[in-house]
Structure 1
Amino acid sequence: MPSGLMALIDDVAGIAKLAAASIDDIGAASGKAAGKAAGVVVDDAAVTPKYVTGLSPSRELPIIGKIAVGSIRNKLLLILPVALLLTAFAPWAITPLLMCGGAYLCFEGAEKVMEMFAGHEVEDKPVSDDPAHLEKATVSGAVRTDLILSAEIMTIALADVADAPLATQAGVLIVVGLAMTVAVYGAVGLLVKLDDIGLHMAGRASKSSRAIGRGLVKSMPGVFSSLSVIGTVAMLWVGGGILVHGTHTLGLAWPAEPVEHLAHAVGALAGPLAGAASWTTTALLSGLLGLVVGGVLAVLLHQVLRLFGRGAH
């Protein structure tokens, strides 16, 4: 009996060690995958605030909360099962799908650049006189947009752990999905409330508080404008980088090898800053490629839509 008990304790200890190792693997892989998806997260955070612009301040956080819940539903109930099925039955499809998502990011980024130079931005917010209907339509539109960005985040994470056991893949995708949702919508919630925080501080007795409050209120339009630019740059950089990496994974020498050679050459000239110079060169070339690919896709799509009489967007 004692020997049987000791054997059971040994088995439990062994299972605990395996579980701990698995948790460590998931944690390490999640951090690495989350880092690679950071560019898409920047875009997600830059896109979301526009959905609550012009709405009642009292409804801003509840709407962001609803969008966040929809984002978690997108990631865990829709994207996660499809991602795991892909790794189990069609792992060859991960890179092409990732490249399709990268091309979409390039298209979105290039369209924003085109709108910027054209001097206008397409208005895509729902129009309604009923606040409840407007809120529902706003959340629905934001969750649809989130589905695309969430799919890209999860696919990037999946590609990074494609060779790991299925349980580790599932754990990494769940951790990345939840962490990215909390990070994005927590940051968005803080951003949209900074002007209210500034107004509150501007009404206090302390001169320093009033100065900080007025500074926050005045700076917020610039912050949102900067976020929009950063989001566009991130889309082009991440989308172009995905295409560069994807073509290399598929066995194509161009454009990955020329980009790599040029980055190394620039790094060799930079001396102690070689690493930063190489990374910056790769990012710039990836962004340029993303702009070219996205611009071509945008022009082609606009021409097709115009041909079928559906307008320019």
Structure 2
Amino acid sequence: MATGLLALLDDIAGIAKMAAASLDDVAAQAGKAGAKAAGVVIDDAAVTPRYVVGFAAARELPIVRRIAIGSLRNKLVFLLPAALALSAFAPWAITPLLVLGGAFLCYEGAEKVYEAIAPHAAHGHEAAVGVAPPDPQALEDTKVAGAIRTDFILSAEIMAITLATVSTGSLLMQGVVLAVVGVAITVVVYGAVALIVKADDAGVSLAAGGSGALRLVGRGLVAGMPAFLKALAVVGTAAMLWVGGGIVIHGLEEFGLAAAGHALHAAEAAGAALLPPAPGFAGWLAGAAASGVFGLALGALLIPTVEHLLAPAFRALRGAFGGARRA
């Protein structure tokens, strides 16, 4: 019996070592995937705060919480199973879906630029496509829904990058790493967003009850946060355009349409040549600018397409299906 017990304990120890090795492998793979997705993560953190700008302070954290829950649902309920299924059965469909998502980001970003340049015309466009909210609660719901839709595209890009990093692993390993990366990135992004949008409240507390230096910091936060949030909203819009444009450009290259990709690489090389002390940063900045210009142009084309073709077609289909259900 003692020998049997020792053998059992030895087996348990072996299983524990295997589990520990697997956990180390998951952590390493998740860290590698998270590093590769860092650019999209930064874009996600820059995009989200603009959905909170303009609401009462009491609604800021609840809105961030609603978006964060929607983001987790996007990653774990929809994107993780879809990524595994596509990887196993239809890897050819990943690029077309990413291109469609990138085009949506371009459309969303171009809408924001249109709203800033011609607010009355932009409001008319929103009414035409059925997104003009009638009351404050509807406005909040519309903003949250828009943030979750945008997060879906950015999350899809993050999950695609993660999947490419662990494509040689088992299906179980892929699923675990996707889940770990999805949860970790959501916590980091929306934790940072919560800190950003509540920094002015922290400033009020410091200004009221801190020492001399802390009071000065608090006043600076209170005075500076509105401008910072507006600037972050601009960065978020730019991020939507350069990420969306970049996704579409790289997707077109996969389809053999390399002209936009060649132009992007030429812009990166030119940027790197202009600033020899920091060629990597300069090349990235030039590439981001080129992707943003492409994204803005594509989004500008999509605005009338959505208003005059896609939105009426969607309403007609919804009416037809609604009529069929009532019948």
Q: TM-score, normalised by structure 1?
A: 0.81
1:140-289 map, 5 Å: 140-160=141-161, 161-162=163-164, 163-165=167-169, 166-204=171-209, 206-268=211-273, 270-289=275-294
Q: Kindly state the Cα deviation for residue 113 of structure 1 after the two structures are TM-superposed.
A: 1.1
Instruction: Measure, in 1, the Cα distance between the counterparts of 2:257 and 2:66.
Output: 43
Instruction: Measure, in 1, the Cα distance between the counterparts of 2:15 and 2:311.
Output: 66
Picking from 19, 22, 42, the partner of 1:19 is: 22
Deviations 1:102-143 (A, max 9, x none): 1111111111111111145648685558xxxx3xx5665455
User: Helix, strand or coil for the counterpart of 1:252?
Assistant: coil
1:85 match: 85
Picking from 35, 38, 50, the partner of 1:35 is: 38
Moved more, 5-14 or 39-48: 5-14
Deviations 1:230-252 (A, max 9, x none): 01110111111111211222333
Q: Kindly state the Cα deviation for residue 43 of structure 1 after the two structures are TM-superposed.
A: 4.3
Q: Kindly state the Cα deviation for residue 205 of structure 1 after the two structures are TM-superposed.
A: 6.4
Distance 1:227 1:215, change over 3 A: same
Q: Contact 1:202–1:214 at 8 Å: present in 2 too?
A: yes
Q: Kindly state the Cα deviation for residue 4 of structure 1 after the two structures are TM-superposed.
A: 5.5
2:224 counterpart letter in structure 1: S
Moved more, 137-146 or 238-247: 137-146
Moved more, 2-11 or 81-90: 2-11
Counterpart check, 1:101 vs 2:101: yes
Percent identical residues: 40
Q: Kindly state the Cα deviation for residue 228 of structure 1 after the two structures are TM-superposed.
A: 1.1
1:47 counterpart letter in structure 2: R
Moved more, 193-202 or 13-22: 13-22
Cα-Cα RMSD: 3.1
Q: Kindly state the Cα deviation for residue 307 of structure 1 after the two structures are TM-superposed.
A: 7.5
Q: Which runs of 5+ in 1 are unaligned?
A: none
Q: TM-score, normalised by structure 2?
A: 0.78
User: Helix, strand or coil for the counterpart of 1:164?
Assistant: coil
Distance 1:291 1:212, change over 3 A: same
2:72 counterpart letter in structure 1: I
Instruction: Measure, in 2, the Cα distance between the counterparts of 1:307 and 1:152.
Output: 24
Instruction: Measure, in 2, the Cα distance between the counterparts of 1:214 and 1:10.
Output: 58
User: Helix, strand or coil for the counterpart of 1:167?
Assistant: helix
Q: Contact 1:26–1:168 at 8 Å: present in 2 too?
A: no
Moved more, 234-243 or 261-270: 261-270
1:296 match: 301
Q: Kindly state the Cα deviation for residue 13 of structure 1 after the two structures are TM-superposed.
A: 6.5
Q: Which runs of 5+ in 2 are unaligned?
A: 316-327
1:115 match: 115
1:23 counterpart letter in structure 2: V
Instruction: Measure, in 2, the Cα distance between the counterparts of 1:210 and 1:4.
Output: 66
Distance 1:272 1:81, change over 3 A: same
Q: Contact 2:110–2:241 at 8 Å: present in 1 too?
A: yes
User: Helix, strand or coil for the counterpart of 2:209?
Assistant: coil
